[in-house]
Chain A
Amino acid sequence: GNSVTQMEGPVTLSEEAFLTINCTYTATGYPSLFWYVQYPGEGLQLLLKATKADDKGSNKGFEATYRKETTSFHLEKGSVQVSDSAVYFCALRISGGYQKVTFGIGTKLQVIP
């Protein structure tokens, strides 16, 4: 079956630190990959996505590259801000059928001033 693995955290960083949140996946088929972000008290919203190998998704200073050879989609940001404090979910979707999206458990990020 399909699965997504990421650390639960919390990850605590000081403002302006470099962020990496690891995400690896297993999938039958050729998935599209996503990072969703959930700010406190809100629903999830798309942060970035990549639909094929070697694609780089980017948004709001965050980046992630679709690595088929290592089945990974690690999220990075060069300089985090307090406003980036949230829970980050890695997810994959296989085309066809009902196109179910499989989520990781979510990684909580806390950025301190």
Chain B
Amino acid sequence: NAGVTQTPKFQVLKTGQSMTLQCAQDMNHNSMYWYRQDPGMGLRLIYYSASEGTTDKGEVPNGYNVSRLNKREFSLRLESAAPSQTSVYFCASRGSGTSYSGANVLTFGAGSRLTVL
């Protein structure tokens, strides 16, 4: 099925460890996003990529890095995990244009639940 695939679904880290969350989409979307979801705070944008080869900071980029490896893949890296990064992370992609009902709508992955001890 077409969509956004995230791995892993669950991860437990110790403070100071590093890890990479992987995201891939097969809808030929140009734009991809990483959000984190925390209770009482909704979704906050970490980083986004408007097209292959470009990345930009969102609202809460500190402690994270991203790579837009190609048009399909957009990874999120935690270099030195902290307890404040315990969260659920969502990758999303967005179709562009105006000629179809899915235009400019975000398609989300199922999420990656990260716990930092």
Residues of A within 8 A of B (CB): 8, 32, 34, 36, 41-46, 49, 89, 93, 98-101, 103-106
Contacts and interface: CB of A to CB of B under 8 A. Distances in A.
Contact of A105 (B4, B41, B92): B41
B3 to A, nearest CB: 9
B42 to A, nearest CB: 4
Interface residues of B, number: 22
Interface in B1-51: 4, 31, 40-43, 45, 48, 50
B78 interface: no
Contacts of A43: 4, 90, 92, 108-111
Contacts of A89: 42-43
Counting chain B CB atoms within 10 Å of each CB, which of A34, A41, A105 scores highest?
Answer: A105
Contacts of B50: 98
Given A98-B31, A99-B94, A44 B108 contact: yes
Contacts, number: 47
B104 A100 contact: no
A98 B48 contact: yes
A106 B42 contact: yes
Which 9 residue pairs of A and B lie closest in terms of their CB atoms, listed nearest first? A43-B108, A105-B42, A103-B43, A44-B108, A103-B42, A43-B110, A46-B105, A43-B109, A98-B50
A98 B43 CA distance: 17
Contacts of A98: 31, 48, 50, 56
B106 A101 contact: yes
Interface string B90-111: 1010100000000011111111
Contacts of A32: 104
B46 to A, nearest CB: 12
Contacts of B106: 36, 44, 46, 101
B105 A49 contact: yes
